[in-house]
Structure 1
Amino acid sequence: MLRENIIDLIALATVAEERSFTRAAARLNVSQSALSHTIKGLEKRLGLRLLTRTTRSVAPTLEGEDLLATLTPCFEKIEARLEALNEARDRPTGTVRIVATEYAIESLLWPKLSPALKAYPSVNVEFVVDYGYTDLASAQCDAGVRYGDQVSEGMVSMRIGPEERMICVGAPDYFKANGTPQTPQELGDHRCINLRLSNHGALYAWEFEDENGNEIRVKVQGQACFNTINLVLRAAKDGQGLALVPEQLAAEHIASGALQICLESYSPYFAGFHLYYPSRLRPSSAFQVVLDALRERS
């Protein structure tokens, strides 16, 4: 009886935390119908309704909140003790899921984490590519990567990279044939390569700053549009138009002469990549390895 109740109470706590049977079932690795049956069985045994269900959300009833107020601290103590035992071992173990853009993974995360994975063979890292403002809970990720000024409140934020800036680039042949814009406003007369954002499907508005620090946003037009920055860069190298890309991504192509910069005085530096994760998260031994590897030390 005790074992059955503990399993059912864990199921209840998970549904209450996720506010969704679908996400809770995925987290517990059970079917949604089995999870629903478990909760109904618990409610029947207690003679109480613990969750209020609608077509869009799930929330605890007053009785459910009262029960969870007792359960949650107990479960947290147990989890903390288990994590402490795990961390006491010589080999950090576990899987860490990180959501980030392809550019962040290729240029920053993988170069830093690859040596750590070799040093700790029991630590696994799963990368999820997304250009949107991903909700960590719904994506079942432990952490995400964004530029520092885009991190939501309530999250722990740790700097993992240097300051960045977006620069406008094009192939030499393009500038030779079409001239070079002198101000962001002149981009309307040029063929540009667009980036479509995955979080809401809109086209990325190019952002610049004048000498007085005033923001300039420009919506550009062109024949090509991609939803990954690497393909935007490739199209620019192929002479398809101008592109706004991270400076570090374009650096080697600028050095080789394959690309040239324009509007550089309008390209300010901003806070670089930061790792963010829920403040309530207690870092596991695997997550601590990731934190140590990614922390910016400059």
Structure 2
Amino acid sequence: MDRTLLPHLAIVLAVHRRGGFAAAAAELGMSASAVSHAVRAVEDHLGQPIFARTTRSVRLTEAGAGFIGMLAPAMGEIADAVDRFGESLGRVSGVLRINAPHVALPLAMTPLVAEMARRHPDLVMEITCDDGLADIVASGHDAGVRLGHTVAQDMVAVRLTPPFEAILVATPRYLATAGEPRGIEALQRHNCIGFRFVTSGGVYAWDLRDQAGAHVSVEVPGTVRVTDALYARDLALAHVGIAYIFEPLVRAELREGRLRQLLPRSAFGEPGLFLYFPRRAAQAPKLRAFVDLAREMLEKSASGQPQPR
């Protein structure tokens, strides 16, 4: 291989990770033209394009997807070697890239990231907010966060939160006007705040339990759909309608009476959020430090001990 291409490979990964040349240039502190030149040098060496470019988007070609699939793990091993050397000098360093859905930020990530920043000032943490089921290896992330049942079996999974429930909530003001539903079927007569998946474009059918405790998926009507569960909470608080949301996200509002839980027997149990990563990635000091802290904070939470501030 032409060794002059080695510096360009990280640039190729950055373009893929950021979804464009300008965003990659901003991350790397380079000009967009320099990024484009580096990518073209690699493409010329390979004899085929890695990216299909239009004026509005940059996406992987079929050949590019295969190349990234081989390149990302190899570059990850190089980064791990650098991190392990840093650990030998007594510090956790480098860049820790984590892919996480928006809902995971208040539920798990914010206190972890804050404490990591305090304990390891030489480490840079980069959190990508992504509600799709990303391929963290291909996208160059060290780890991802998902609900437990969506983690692939070939990944190592570390629990970040206890199990929780998805519940129905609305404000007393909305219920005073619209009435309180007495059963799941009554949701069809209410304004329900829907959720649309960004990646697939599909509208989420609410997972609920019927009177017999069986799982049912319910398509609900409503005048508003969102792609962010936290915004559904805000809209519920604005008296728009009924929101379907993870209970920890509205615990304070329920306690204060600003929201009321509806049809509590219909609440659907979720396994909780998990950090997941390839087995080889567990050797990296930066990820080990994050995993150790996650376990420490979860154990303290379970025992009722105060969390780090």
TM band (smaller chain): 0.7 to 0.9
Unaligned ranges ≥5, structure 1? 44-48
Distance in 2 (CA, whole Å) between partners of 1:22 and 1:146 is 21
1:212-254 Cα offsets, whole Å, 9 max, x none, are 4421111111112221112111111121111101100111101
Distance in 2 (CA, whole Å) between partners of 1:9 and 1:123 is 24
Counterpart residue number, 2:274:
274
How far does residue 103 in structure 1 lie from its aligned partner after superposition? 2.3
Conserved in 2, the CA contact under 8 Å of 1:112 and 1:293?
yes
Distance in 2 (CA, whole Å) between partners of 1:245 and 1:12 is 41
1:43-99 Cα offsets, whole Å, 9 max, x none, are 7xxxxx8x89897322799xx9xxx9xxx99x9987665443222121211111212
Conserved in 1, the CA contact under 8 Å of 2:11 and 2:38?
no
Number of residue pairs matched by the alignment: 276
User: Is 2:263 the counterpart of 1:263?
Assistant: yes
Secondary structure in structure 2 of the residue aligned to 1:193: strand
User: Is 2:145 the counterpart of 1:145?
Assistant: yes
How far does residue 21 in structure 1 lie from its aligned partner after superposition? 8.9
1:28-47 to structure 2, matched below 5 A, reads 31=35, 33-38=37-42, 40-41=44-45
- AA aligned to 1:58 is A
Distance in 2 (CA, whole Å) between partners of 1:182 and 1:128 is 40
Conserved in 1, the CA contact under 8 Å of 2:101 and 2:131?
yes
How far does residue 139 in structure 1 lie from its aligned partner after superposition? 3.6
Conserved in 2, the CA contact under 8 Å of 1:22 and 1:32?
no
Conserved in 1, the CA contact under 8 Å of 2:166 and 2:246?
yes
How far does residue 201 in structure 1 lie from its aligned partner after superposition? 1.7
Secondary structure in structure 2 of the residue aligned to 1:136: coil
Counterpart residue number, 2:116:
116
Distance in 1 (CA, whole Å) between partners of 2:164 and 2:65 is 44
- Pair 53,121 (structure 1): closer, same or farther in 2 beyond 3 Å: closer
Counterpart residue number, 1:155:
155
Distance in 2 (CA, whole Å) between partners of 1:254 and 1:53 is 51
TM-score (norm 2): 0.75
Distance in 2 (CA, whole Å) between partners of 1:98 and 1:226 is 24
Distance in 2 (CA, whole Å) between partners of 1:280 and 1:213 is 41
1:206-221 to structure 2, matched below 5 A, reads 206-210=206-210, 212-221=212-221
Counterpart residue number, 1:46:
none
Conserved in 2, the CA contact under 8 Å of 1:155 and 1:279?
yes
- AA aligned to 1:148 is G
Q: Which of the numbers 58, 63, 67 marks the counterpart of 2:63?
A: 58
Secondary structure in structure 2 of the residue aligned to 1:126: strand
Conserved in 1, the CA contact under 8 Å of 2:146 and 2:274?
yes
Distance in 2 (CA, whole Å) between partners of 1:241 and 1:78 is 51
Secondary structure in structure 2 of the residue aligned to 1:261: strand
- Pair 201,161 (structure 1): closer, same or farther in 2 beyond 3 Å: same
Conserved in 2, the CA contact under 8 Å of 1:168 and 1:245?
yes
How far does residue 138 in structure 1 lie from its aligned partner after superposition? 4.5
- Pair 95,261 (structure 1): closer, same or farther in 2 beyond 3 Å: same
- Pair 152,10 (structure 1): closer, same or farther in 2 beyond 3 Å: farther
Larger radius of gyration: 1
Counterpart residue number, 1:199:
199
Distance in 2 (CA, whole Å) between partners of 1:76 and 1:111 is 26
The range that moved more, 171-180 or 75-84, is 75-84
Distance in 1 (CA, whole Å) between partners of 2:125 and 2:62 is 31
- Pair 213,33 (structure 1): closer, same or farther in 2 beyond 3 Å: farther
How far does residue 194 in structure 1 lie from its aligned partner after superposition? 1.1
1:101-130 Cα offsets, whole Å, 9 max, x none, are 222112311112212211211111111112
TM-score (norm 1): 0.78
